[in-house]
Amino acid sequence: MSSPQAALGTLAPARAPSRWRSLVTQESVATLAASLVVAAAVLLPLATLIVSSFLVMDRSGFDAHWGLDNYRALVFDRIIPKAFVNTLVISTGATVLATVLGVSLAWINARTNCPWREGLEPFNLIPFFLSPFVGAIAWHNLAAPKTGLLNAWARDYLGVQGHLLNVDNIYGVIWVTGIFFTPLVYLFVVGSLRRMDPALEDSARTTGAGLLRTTLTVTLPLVLPGILSGAIIVFVTSAGEFGVPFKLGAPYGWETLTTQIFSKAVGDDANHYLGATMAMALGAITAVFVWIQQRVIAPRAFTTVTGKGFRPNVVDLGGWKWVALGYNLVFILVAVVLPILCLFVVSLHPVWEGGIIPRDMSFRNYQKVLFFWSPDSIQAATNGIFNSFILAFAGASIAMVLSLVVSYMIHRTKGFGSRLLDFLCVVPIGFPGIVLAMGVLVVYIKTPIYATLWILLLGYITRFFPYGQRNVSAVMLAISEELDQSSRMAGASWLTTLRRITIPLLKPGIFAGWLLLFIIFLRELSISIILYTTGTETLSVGVYYLVNFENEPLTAALSIAQTVVLLACVVLFRRIAGREALTA
């Protein structure tokens, strides 16, 4: 064996560096390329919307001239201001409902001795993964005055005259929206509660504060940033929600900004300049809120996370634990079980008249919406299944690659470029899908990607890649920069380091992000509804088509199909990505 000194041997002379080749490194080229791509994808549609808002459509509908009439219409039109007010009311109501439910469920789950609480958690999260549009359809069939299943039972078994519940109004919209977005608040709060250092509460207890006082003066204030973040996200997401008001609000007289934007964009009173103006107005509002959440509230999420594993305090509820369990079970029943059951029952009937008629039941509707080879299949529905899977698969993959690159740029490089990218990543979150889709439509209508799956793909990725990026960032932040640096010192180029060190370590984040995006894309409606055409329908568009042109049972059948697929993905997601993988 040679001695260490001899082993040192002779070194190859270092290659002298070339002049300013250093500027054009692999890293800087990739950063620039990524920034340009993201900037184009995100800013171009928004810029086009702004420009469009100053174009006023002529009576013929073919020409347009510059003017401020669109903005005047925002204020003076008969319907739009009311739609605006309705949107605010719905958002506020849904936020309140979701916050109350979310915080209470989170507290029960993270901090009490409620029985079976670990098993209950996945069920609490299911509404997040399903389509709120489908939820609205289900609730319509549960609680519409004449045809609702619950009302029928109330009439038959409780002797109620007329109807007990009516979900076909603004309250119905608030109800469904609130329930479906409860998991958003839940996730924010439950994470905070679980990771809180028990010493923070213990020290309060040692000074003499009882449980209630500790909870109110220590626990809740520390969790408040999480609650506020969740609430804002729910507010913003509700404002941008299209499916629920479309089903339960607009037909019964309650228009919202999203249903009006839809009408103006591609619907029946088509005036996409006015649609752009409204989209901008909606976008401006949501963007402001999201900015507040990102820059003002999230940084204040006090560092209660120390990284050391420990068990947080658990409150003994005594006999009340059964009440807590009941509460949680009722939530799951109402939010998940009841709607799915109802949809299933309705889907088995050829025509739905409000009552269960066993002799009418069959699976024929499933045949019509799923069996694309069958002669009486409905094209819009069967197309949707294929297209949604293709879009979800391709979209999630492309979006994750983009997320990876962007996350790396943001967290591993310094300077103006990374700050710009950070900002660009928040922008799409601030704009509802319908707004972004409008922009995408107007920008790309003259290009070859119009009326193909590509334009849908573009819309999806632009809107949702920040979600993938956040998953990756969360893991990346936990990985010390030194792991990359030591690879560089060992002689690996930037690209090799990315390939052999960074990406393998990020695998959990990458996979979690991919699956989350897959699910989001499968159930996406707002973007699809603006950008689809024959042949490029998606699952949700198929449901929309059935709502418009076919009857409730067929709609229910496709809705159930979509729900089953989404649930299967959720199970897979939890199994592979683990408990803490959902980052909001």
Partner 1 sequence: MTVVNAAGTVAAAGAAPYLEVRGLVKTFGADRAVDDISFTVPKGKFLTLLGPSGCGKTTTLMSIAGLHRLDAGDIRVGGTVFTSVADGLFLPPEKRDIGMVFQSYAIWPHMTVAENVAYPLAIRKLDRAEIDARVDEVLRLVGLAAMAGKLATQLSGGQQQRAALARAIVFRPRLLLFDEPLSNLDLKLREQMRVELKRIQREVGITSVYVTHDQAEALVMSDEIIVMSKGRIEQRGGPHDIYARPLNRYVSNFIGVANLLEGRVARVTAPGRGELEIRAGGERIQLPCRLGEGVAEGAAAVLSVRPENVQAAREHRSGPRLEGEVIETIFLGNCVDCRVRWGGFEWKVLAHPRAALRPGERVYLHLDPEHSLAVQP
Partner 2 sequence: MSRPSGTRCFLVAGVALASALFASGAAGQAADLTPQERALIAAAKKEGEVTILNPLFSDETGQRLSEGFVKRYGLGPDFKVNNLRKGTGQTVAQVRQEIKAGRFTVDILLVSAPAFFDEAAKRDAFEKLDSAHWKNHEALARKAGQYFNYPYVVVPLAYTFQPVWNISCPGMANFKVDSYADTIGPALKGKTIASDITKSITYTNTALSLMEAGFDMKSFWGKLKATEPIVEFRTEPKMQMVVSCERPFDMWNLSGRVYQNVLKKPELANVLRVGYYKEGQVMLGNQAGVLKGAPHPNAGRLLVEFLLSKEGTDIVVETEATYSFMQGYTPPAKAKPYLLDLSQHKLLGLKDWVAADDRVKSVRDDWITTFK
Select the residue interacting with partner 2 from 451, 479, 492, 584 (CB under 8 A).
Answer: 451
User: With CB cut-offs between 5 and 8 Å by kind, which of partner 2, partner 1, none does residue 376 bind?
Assistant: partner 2
Residue 169 near partner 2 by CB under 8 A: no
Q: How many of the other CB atoms lie within 10 Å of CB of 7?
A: 8
Select the residue interacting with partner 1 from 17, 119, 307, 318 (CB under 8 A).
Answer: 17
Q: Angle at which helices 503-523 and 539-549 pack, to 10 degrees? A: 10
Beta bridge partners of residue 57, listed in sequence order? 64
Binding to partner 2 by CB under 8 A, coded x per residue (else -) over 362-381, reads -------------xxxxxx-
Give the burial string for 206-219 (b: 16+ CB within 10 Å, else e). eeebeeeebbeebb
Select the residue interacting with partner 1 from 112, 349, 375, 483 (CB under 8 A).
Answer: 483
- Under DSSP, is residue 315 helix (H, G, I), strand (E, B) or coil? strand
Of 503, 157, 104, 60, the closest CA to residue 355 belongs to 157
Residues within window 453-482 making contact with partner 1, judged by CB under 8 A: 480, 482
Report the alpha-carbon angle 530-535-536, nearest 5: 40
Cβ at position 401, least distance to partner 1 in Å: 20
Q: How many residues bind partner 1 (CB under 8 A)?
A: 37
User: With CB cut-offs between 5 and 8 Å by kind, which of partner 2, partner 1, none does residue 377 bind?
Assistant: partner 2
User: With CB cut-offs between 5 and 8 Å by kind, which of partner 1, partner 2, none does residue 19 bind?
Assistant: partner 1
User: With CB cut-offs between 5 and 8 Å by kind, which of partner 1, partner 2, none does residue 7 bind?
Assistant: partner 1
Q: How far apart, in whole angstroms, are the C-alpha atoms of residue 48 and residue 44?
A: 6
Binding to partner 2 by CB under 8 A, coded x per residue (else -) over 219-258, reads --------------------------------xxx-----
**What is the torsion angle, in degrees rounded to the nearest 10, for the CA atoms of residue 72, residue 76, residue 77 and residue 78?**
180
Give whichever of 24 and 330 is closer to partner 1, judged by the CB atom. Answer: 24
**Contact stretch for partner 1 (CB under 8 A) within 17-25, 160-168, 209-217, 294-302:** 17-25
**Contact stretch for partner 2 (CB under 8 A) within 48-56, 119-127, 462-470, 531-539:** 531-539
Residue 36 near partner 2 by CB under 8 A: no
Within 13 A of 276's CA, how many CA atoms are on the CB side?
Answer: 24
Binding to partner 1 by CB under 8 A, coded x per residue (else -) over 487-526, reads xxxxxxxx-x---xx--xx---------------------
**Tokens 């609205």 -> residue:** 136
Residue 416 near partner 1 by CB under 8 A: no
Residue 75 near partner 1 by CB under 8 A: no
Strands (DSSP E) along 44-116, which ranges?
55-57, 64-66
Tell the burial category of 33 from Cβ atoms under 10 Å away from its Cβ (0-12, 13-18, 19+): exposed
Residue 485 near partner 1 by CB under 8 A: yes
Q: How far apart, in whole angstroms, are the C-alpha atoms of residue 229 and residue 235?
A: 10
DSSP state of 17: P
Residue 266 near partner 2 by CB under 8 A: yes
How far from 394 is each of 312, 387, 556, CA to CA, in Å?
41, 10, 27
**Contact stretch for partner 1 (CB under 8 A) within 9-17, 36-44, 336-344, 430-438:** 9-17
End-to-end CA distance of the chain: 57
Q: 3-state SS string over 446-468?
A: CCCCCCCHHHHHHHHHHHHHHHH
Residue 212 near partner 1 by CB under 8 A: no
Beta bridge partners of residue 66, listed in sequence order? 55
Residue 59 near partner 2 by CB under 8 A: yes
Give whichever of 25 and 548 is closer to partner 2, judged by the CB atom. Answer: 548
Select the residue interacting with partner 1 from 20, 62, 157, 373 (CB under 8 A).
Answer: 20
Residues within window 292-351 making contact with partner 2, judged by CB under 8 A: 350-351
How far does CA 174 lie from the centroid of its chain? 17
Residues within window 122-151 making contact with partner 2, judged by CB under 8 A: 144-147
Residue 454 near partner 2 by CB under 8 A: no
State phi, psi for 64 to the nearest 5 degrees: -145, 150
Give whichever of 75 and 489 is closer to partner 1, judged by the CB atom. Answer: 489
Residue 376 near partner 1 by CB under 8 A: no
Binding to partner 2 by CB under 8 A, coded x per residue (else -) over 65-84, reads -------------xx--x--
Cβ partners under 8 Å of residue 305, min gap 6: 195
Cβ at position 10, least distance to partner 1 in Å: 9
How far from 399 is each of 370, 447, 555, CA to CA, in Å?
28, 22, 30
Residue 30 near partner 1 by CB under 8 A: no
Beta bridge partners of residue 65, listed in sequence order? 56
Within 13 A of 548's CA, how many CA atoms are on the CB side?
Answer: 13
- Under DSSP, is residue 545 helix (H, G, I), strand (E, B) or coil? helix
For CA atoms 494, 499, 503, 504, give the dihedral sign: negative
**Cα radius of gyration rounded to whole Å, the chain:** 26
Select the residue interacting with partner 2 from 115, 122, 312, 354 (CB under 8 A).
Answer: 354
Cβ at position 547, least distance to partner 2 in Å: 7
List of residues contacting partner 1 (CB under 8 A): 1-2, 4-5, 7-9, 11-20, 22, 25, 480, 482-483, 485-494, 496, 500-501, 504-505
The footprint of partner 2 (CB under 8 A) covers 59-62, 78-79, 82, 144-147, 251-253, 263, 266-270, 272, 350-354, 360, 375-380, 445-446, 450-451, 533-535, 545, 547-552
